[in-house]
Amino acid sequence: MYNSEPFTHTGVLASYAASEDTTWYGGWTLGWDTGFEQFGEGSNFLGGVSTTVNEDVTLAYMTTLGDFGARGSDGFMQSLIFDVALGDALNYVVQSDLLHVGSTGEDTIGLNQYLFYTLDDRTTLGARFEWWKADAITGYAPHGGSAPTSGATSHYEATFGANHLLSPNLMVRPEFRYDWSEGADYHRGILGIDLVATF
């Protein structure tokens, strides 16, 4: 997902609540991955819609198009997200990302799936599975792998973890993540933990 979406945006974004269930978004940014400095001629539209389909399903669609600055011009990217309640304790989220950059010919697509199970008010278990298809232009090969010089390569990632509230403003999040790609010739497991304090 990180490779098919901007990490940061600088610009303006307006929202309009068209109804109790639907909100529209529209705005402009200085291109992709900007702080307070414009890269190249970065200038693009950012907008979309979020809506409640029914009491168990919400849908969000966001797009950005224009000059992405350092990432290239004539760009288009979209994210489509479904959030589904499968019961009182189980929640499923699926997100797809599609990216095309005309000036470089970059084309990538990804699909992310999340499953969350709430044990109690303090603990939630989670799992994520991600598929991302890179092209030769992206040239992505992490963990010492080697990117193919032509064609597209599929990359996969699975993560299992938990969010546990130690106090109302302190959360611990242990996880195990496994990354692999046959086309880029790598397999790697990562064990991580972080502590999040809110104030």
pLDDT tens-digit map of 60-96 = 999 999 999 988 899 999 999 999 999 999 999 999 9
Using alpha carbons only, give the angle 102, 107, 113 rounded to the nearest 5 degrees.
140
Region 118-124: what's the mean pLDDT?
Answer: 96
Give the whole-angstrom CA distance, residue 75 versus residue 35. Answer: 19
Output the furthest CA–CA distance in the chain (Å, rounded).
Answer: 51
pTM comes to 0.84
Tokens 């819609």 locate to: 49
Instruction: Report the distance separating Cα 117 and Cα 89, nearest Å.
Output: 5
Q: What is the pLDDT of residues 153-177, one digit of tens each?
A: 888 999 999 999 999 999 999 999 9
Q: What percent of the chain has pLDDT over 90?
A: 67
d(CA 29, CA 42): 8
CA 109/CA 1 separation, integer angstroms: 9
Fill in the amino acid letter for 150: S
